[in-house]
């Protein structure tokens, strides 16, 4: 009996010791990860990457249970971490709004927001049905704060569903929905109109795909599955720009839909009969019962307003970089677009990158890493704290902040990537209100339509 009792005590003791070792190991690992996260947060603050610049995760500290599901789900590196058993943001400026963290959180402790308590972001007034303060005018996608391709497409579908439910349709000689913009939200909305059998026309100032079309060739633009109207669920992982555009073209062609490209809308005019007159830059006119604005927040590219900027050799987006060879190129910027363009062009051209800040800020770690490598192997020349002063036929003049004298450099092409300006006037003309929002919660979806 004593031997059995002794044996049981030995087993219990062994279990207790092993359990204690496991707990100690767990706590040690947890504490180690917490310390690492604290260091990463400090580094992010020093590099100016801690504060969000657009759509970002907001963590409810009272609800978070520290499961780490958000970190595992996030396709980007070091956007989120765990400190003292609670999730925290790290390099928030690098967040591109995948929304995977929101979907993965088991206790719904994460919301997606735009703007912070101290930094406001101008946003148009849009209700839960994507309708603005002007009845019949809807907004979906990046302009309303949702920049991620998948979520923009969700919003495009939801906006059309809201229009169908509003029953403001089927007037004689009037288009049911005029869609402005053929980016992710606009394409999704166009397909959804076809799905519900309502008339529509889609006007795009550039080419099919909107902002996606201007991405550098082969840039990965999708990392998760999505539901495409009239096509079904599409599993897209590490999908390139070309693959996504081909899919859109295929579905649009199969359903006999025509996108009116290179048609810029200049004005939306509300009519007395509650319709809208749309006027394009070519003086074409369309009458619609509803308008869905699905354009980007950038609107028009922001300009430097310097002598020579109206030259034909100046561009604000990079198309087909593989066709550009043997040129002397200046790239102005400081963010991901400018860095990615410089890296794409540097091998076949002489590229000078004028970064207007002291260091790279608000850019992806991989872009910074590749740019630094290019500086080391001298395939790319970078001037920090620099500004372009004037543009001439065969050269440009720029200045580095700490230097007294200006520099002159031979030049064939100039690319300017300093962001865009919110199309405030375009929205305000028909009466859409715009307000600076602080920590505004952006509507997201657990399931596709």
| Contacts for 13 with CB less than 8 Å, ≥ 6 apart | none
- Tell which residue, 119, 121, 118, 160, has the closest CA to residue 139: 160
Inside any domain, residue 357: yes
Per-residue confidence (pLDDT) for residue 206, from 0 to 100: 80
Per-residue confidence (pLDDT) for residue 26, from 0 to 100: 54
In the chain, what is the straight-line distance between the N-terminal and C-terminal CA atoms, in Å? 68
312 and 359 share one domain? yes
261 and 135 share one domain? yes
The residue from 114, 136, 159 where one domain ends is 114
- Give the structural domain span for 136: 124-299+422-437
Per-residue confidence (pLDDT) for residue 448, from 0 to 100: 41
Per-residue confidence (pLDDT) for residue 406, from 0 to 100: 93
The residue from 57, 89, 114 where one domain ends is 114
Per-residue confidence (pLDDT) for residue 32, from 0 to 100: 65
Inside any domain, residue 170: yes
Per-residue confidence (pLDDT) for residue 394, from 0 to 100: 94
Per-residue confidence (pLDDT) for residue 36, from 0 to 100: 82
State how many domains the chain has: 3
145 and 280 share one domain? yes
70 and 131 share one domain? no
156 and 79 share one domain? no
Inside any domain, residue 165: yes
Structure tokens at 387: 């500004």
272 and 311 share one domain? no
275 and 327 share one domain? no
65 and 213 share one domain? no
Give the Cα separation of 165 and 192 in Å (integer): 13
Vertex 419: Cα angle to 142 and 59 (nearest 5): 50
- Tell which residue, 310, 313, 360, 309, has the closest CA to residue 333: 360
The residue from 80, 114, 148 where one domain ends is 114
Inside any domain, residue 183: yes
180 and 321 share one domain? no
Per-residue confidence (pLDDT) for residue 419, from 0 to 100: 79
Give the Cα separation of 290 and 172 in Å (integer): 14
Per-residue confidence (pLDDT) for residue 207, from 0 to 100: 78
| Contacts for 442 with CB less than 8 Å, ≥ 6 apart | 55, 112, 113, 114, 144, 145, 146
CATH of the domain at 131: 3.50.50.60
Inside any domain, residue 265: yes
pLDDT mean for each 10 residues of the chain (449 residues): 64 66 57 75 73 80 90 83 87 73 89 79 83 93 69 87 86 92 89 93 83 60 68 70 80 87 92 94 93 80 89 84 92 89 94 88 77 94 94 95 91 89 85 84 55
Inside any domain, residue 444: no
Inside any domain, residue 447: no
Inside any domain, residue 119: no
345 and 295 share one domain? no
CA R_g for the chain? 26
382 and 429 share one domain? no
160 and 280 share one domain? yes
CB 295 within 8 A of CB 422: no
Per-residue confidence (pLDDT) for residue 195, from 0 to 100: 92
pTM: 0.68
């Amino acid at each position: 009996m004593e031997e059995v009792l002794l044996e049981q005590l030995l087993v219990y003791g062994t279990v207790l010791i092993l359990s204690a070792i496991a707990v100690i190991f767990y706590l040690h690992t947890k504490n180690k990860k917490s310390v690492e996260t604290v260091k990463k947060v400090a580094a992010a603050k020093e590099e100016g990457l801690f504060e969000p610049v657009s759509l970002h995760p907001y963590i409810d500290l009272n609800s978070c249970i520290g499961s780490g599901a958000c970190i595992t789900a996030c396709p980007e590196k070091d956007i989120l971490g765990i400190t003292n058993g609670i999730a925290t943001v790290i390099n928030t400026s690098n967040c591109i709004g995948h929304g995977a963290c929101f979907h993965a959180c088991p206790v719904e402790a994460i919301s997606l927001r735009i703007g912070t308590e101290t930094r406001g972001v101008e946003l148009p007034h849009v209700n839960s049905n994507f309708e603005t303060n002007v009845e019949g005018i809807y907004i979906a996608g990046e302009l309303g704060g949702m920049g991620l391709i998948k979520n923009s497409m969700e919003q495009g579908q939801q906006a059309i569903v809201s229009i169908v439910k509003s029953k403001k349709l089927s007037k004689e000689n009037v288009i049911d929905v005029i869609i402005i913009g053929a980016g992710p939200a606009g394409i999704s909305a166009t397909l959804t109109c076809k799905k519900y059998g309502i008339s529509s026309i889609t006007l795009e100032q550039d080419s099919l795909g909107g902002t996606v079309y201007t991405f550098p060739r082969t840039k990965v633009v999708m990392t998760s599955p999505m539901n495409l109207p009239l096509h079904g669920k599409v599993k897209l992982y590490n999908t390139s720009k070309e693959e996504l555009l081909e899919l859109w073209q295929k579905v649009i062609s199969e359903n006999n839909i025509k996108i009116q490209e290179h048609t810029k809308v200049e004005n939306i005019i509300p009519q007395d009969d509650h319709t809208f007159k749309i006027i394009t830059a070519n003086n074409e006119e369309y009458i619609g019962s509803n308008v869905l604005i699905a354009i980007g927040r950038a609107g028009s590219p922001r300009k430097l307003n310097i002598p020579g900027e109206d030259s034909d050799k100046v561009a604000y987006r990079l198309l087909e970089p593989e066709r550009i060879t043997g040129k002397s190129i200046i790239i102005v910027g400081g963010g991901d677009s400018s860095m990615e363009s410089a890296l794409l062009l540097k091998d076949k051209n002489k590229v000078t990158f004028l970064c207007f800040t002291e260091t790279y800020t608000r850019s992806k770690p991989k872009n910074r890493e590749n740019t630094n490598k290019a500086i080391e192997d001298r395939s790319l020349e970078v001037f920090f704290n620099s500004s372009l002063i004037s543009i001439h036929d065969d050269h440009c003049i720029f200045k580095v902040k700490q230097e007294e004298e200006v520099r002159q450099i031979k030049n064939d092409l100039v690319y300017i990537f300093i962001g865009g300006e919110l199309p405030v006037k375009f929205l305000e003309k028909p009466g859409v209100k715009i307000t600076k929002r602080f920590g505004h919660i952006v509507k997201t979806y657990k399931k596709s339509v």
